[in-house]
Amino acid sequence: MSLAKRSLAELIGTFWLVFGGCGSAVVAAGFPKLGIGFVGVALAFGLTVLTMAYAIGHISGCHLNPAVSLGLVVGRRFPIKELPAYVVGQLLGALIGAGVLYAIASGKPGFELGGFAANGFGEHSPDGYSMIAAFVAEGVLTYIFLIVILGSTDERAPVGMAPIAIGLCLTLIHLISIPITNTSVNPARSTSQAIFVGGWAVEQLWLFWIAPLAGAALAGATSHVFRAKKD
């Protein structure tokens, strides 16, 4: 299948991740007073990946995340020449998802943008965690996310189970880190929300690119240790 079609699949998948995951946080987390809470938000993010993995995994691999694409490049599971097209598709999908979410959320009387599910540290961390804590959390959790992705999609792994493992892993990641950074592990997801929030969210966006990309690259390098001998 052509790179354009696979990038379009990434756009659609990342749209769903942002609209479904961030949408659950913006619209449903506190509704009406006892909404789904952060546990529900964590589950929502996991479900977006799980559902899209079955929907477009056979088309694009269902990366939905520049860090995932980079980790797969370092792990020699994805060609570097296709990385820019995937990242562009992911960013566009995330921005469209955030835009549709804004259009819906702002349709309620008394709407206030607030944090709009953006990621932050320090005074913008949900529970006041420092920049260093945020960087470590984002880097380590992205590392583990890629280890799970690379392992569960290996040809030696049980067939058809990867989406479940990956979706549950992302759910667990959110359960751990929503209080720390509001959970990124995905530069595209962070960028889309930061653009709408502006100000502090854009100023802190660098961390939510550098830490996930570093963690993903390290996981890709680690994966070579576990390669089959024939590789």
Q: Each residue of 20-55: pLDDT tens digit?
A: 999 999 998 877 777 899 999 999 999 999 999 999
The pLDDT score that the predictor gives to residue 8 is: 98
Most confident of 26-35, 155-164, 183-192: 183-192
What whole-number percentage of the chain has pLDDT above 70?
98
Count other C-beta atoms under 10 Å from residue 112's C-beta. 9
* Structure confidence at residue 229 as a pLDDT band (50, 70, 90): low
Determine which of 125-129, 147-151, 156-160 has the lowest per-residue pLDDT on average: 156-160
Per-residue burial over 136-172, b = 16 or more CB atoms within 10 Å of its CB, e = otherwise: ebbbbbbbbbbbbbbbbbbeeeeeeebbebbbbbbbb
Average pLDDT over residues 81-92: 98
Contact 113, 22 (CB under 8 A): no
pLDDT given for residue 31 in this prediction: 75
pLDDT at 123: 97
Average pLDDT on 133-151 reads 98
pLDDT score for 110? 86
Give residue 126's pLDDT: 96
Residue-level pLDDT at 228: 66
Distances (CA, A) of 170 to 51, 143, 159, 165, 166: 13, 12, 20, 9, 6
How does the average pLDDT of the chain come out, rounded? 95
pLDDT of residue 231 exceeding 70, the answer is: no
* 165: pLDDT strictly greater than 90: yes
CB atoms near residue 54 (< 10 Å): 14
Question: CA–CA separation, 43 vs 47, rounded Å?
Answer: 6
**pLDDT confidence tier of residue 147, bands split at 50, 70 and 90:** very high
Which residue, chain included where needed, has tokens 């691999």? 61
pLDDT digits (tens, 9 = 90+) for 206-219: 999 999 999 999 99
The CATH H-level superfamily of 3-106+116-223 is Glycerol uptake facilitator protein. (1.20.1080.10)
- Res 24: pLDDT: 95
- Residue found under tokens 């984002």: 138
Confidence (pLDDT) at 226:
87
Which pLDDT band holds residue 2 (cuts at 50, 70, 90)?
very high
